[in-house]
Amino acid sequence: MSYNEVRDSVRDSLELQYMIAKESKNIEGVFSILQKLMRYRLIDFSDERVSKAALKRFEKKVSAQADAYDYRHSDYRYMIADNLIGKDPAYVPIKVHSEPHWIKRRELQYVGDQMCEAKDVMFRGVRLNMDSVAQKALQSMAEIYEKSEHKKLDTDKYQWKDGEYHVWAIRRDSAYAWNTDYLGYYVTWFNDAETVNVELVVDTEGMAEGYIDIIRQTNNIIADIEDAYKEAGVKTVNIKCLTSFEKIGKKQRDNKEILLSYEEKMKALQDEADMEAIKNEAYNRRMTVEQVMVERAEKERLEAEAERKADTKE
């Protein structure tokens, strides 16, 4: 059964329940059914039963507070319908870990290397319920994907307006300061109440700029999304990351810039200084770098041999 067929079936069932509740003068039942019809966008905005005047009449008879899906709410026309098949988590808590890394510190005429300690920042997977916000997020998702994979992402397949698909953003918690507000986006849809599908796009470039281990963090995001859905009662969570995070993350790890310990960084700096000295010597003596390196190696060999002979005499 297609999602549109599910919508038609649910609409018919709710309309029948509405008639029965109205005939039995069950005011609370009537309002409850109208709320569902509005939440799932199964009733047209022009229907007199959900006009502001008609809904306002319920306020004297039942507890009839207007939520964001209610047609009395100022933003109701822009709300995306809730999903009829499965239940989403309220949000997905995601801990983002920035690795220890090195930066250049400049103070007056002095420049030096400084280590920044590891840092944890909280992000959240949040469902985007306003149509304009969801549309903008899909555009950002497509841009990140195209920049990473060098091909276009077909976002037209995500039929989000009727609630079949929902768009989510991985957004920084406002309590934390960080260099980026978003680490990616994902789209969800249900096969049935116990099976959800997720297509994820992560901003690997933003992760690299924040000294975040791309492979580890993306796997953590996938695990966090899966855990949140299972806590919400969904048994099977099919998650596909559309960005090649393992390939990109391997290049990041091979670079090793964010993974150097203090001792490793000091050795790397010494190696750089030694190489610079070799280049300067080669230039001054009109030699090649290779000739200077061979000469130095031979000198070190002779010095080591002399030390061994001295130790033997003692």
Q: Is the pLDDT of residue 166 over 70?
A: yes
> Once rounded to an integer, what is the mean pLDDT over residues 163-174?
94
Residue ending a domain, among 78, 101, 122, is 78
Q: Return d(Cα 167, Cα 142) in angstroms, integer.
A: 12
Residues 122 and 143 grouped into a single domain: yes
Burial 212-245 (b: 16+ CB within 10 A, else e): bbbbebbebbbebbbebbeeeebeebebebbbeb
Taking a C-beta distance cutoff of 8 angstroms, is the pair 217, 207 a contact? Answer: yes
Residues 99 and 226 grouped into a single domain: yes
Q: Is the pLDDT of residue 66 over 60?
A: yes
This prediction has a pTM of: 0.77
Q: Is the pLDDT of residue 159 over 90?
A: no
The range of the structural domain enclosing residue 291 comes to: 265-313
Alpha carbons within 13 A on the beta-carbon side of 13: 8
Residues 46 and 194 grouped into a single domain: no
> Once rounded to an integer, what is the mean pLDDT over residues 57-72?
76
- Range scoring the smallest mean pLDDT among 73-77, 211-215, 220-224, 264-268: 264-268
Residues 50 and 137 grouped into a single domain: no
- Range scoring the smallest mean pLDDT among 104-113, 170-179, 246-255: 104-113
Is 140 inside a domain boundary? yes
Q: Is the pLDDT of residue 107 over 80?
A: no
What's the distance, CA 141 to chain centroid? 10
- For the chain, what is the domain count? 3
Residue ending a domain, among 78, 105, 136, is 78
Residues 206 and 231 grouped into a single domain: yes
Query: pLDDT tens for residues 285-300?
Result: 999 989 989 998 888 8
> Nearest-CA neighbor of 98 among 245, 219, 211?
211
Residues 116 and 210 grouped into a single domain: yes
Is 87 inside a domain boundary? no
Is 152 inside a domain boundary? yes
Residue ending a domain, among 255, 273, 303, is 255
Task: Please report, rounded to a whole number, the percentage of residues in the chain having pLDDT higher than 70.
Answer: 92
Is 63 inside a domain boundary? yes
Residues 215 and 274 grouped into a single domain: no
Residues 18 and 67 grouped into a single domain: yes
Amino acid, res. 258: I
Q: The domain spanning residue 119 has which CATH number?
A: 3.40.630
Query: pLDDT tens for residues 39-60?
Result: 999 998 889 998 888 888 887 7
> Once rounded to an integer, what is the mean pLDDT over residues 68-77?
78
Residues 228 and 279 grouped into a single domain: no
> Nearest-CA neighbor of 121 among 169, 170, 172?
172
Taking a C-beta distance cutoff of 8 angstroms, is the pair 296, 275 a contact? Answer: no
Q: Output the CA–CA distances (angstroms, integers) from residue 115 to 107, 119, 136, 271, in the order listed.
A: 15, 12, 37, 18
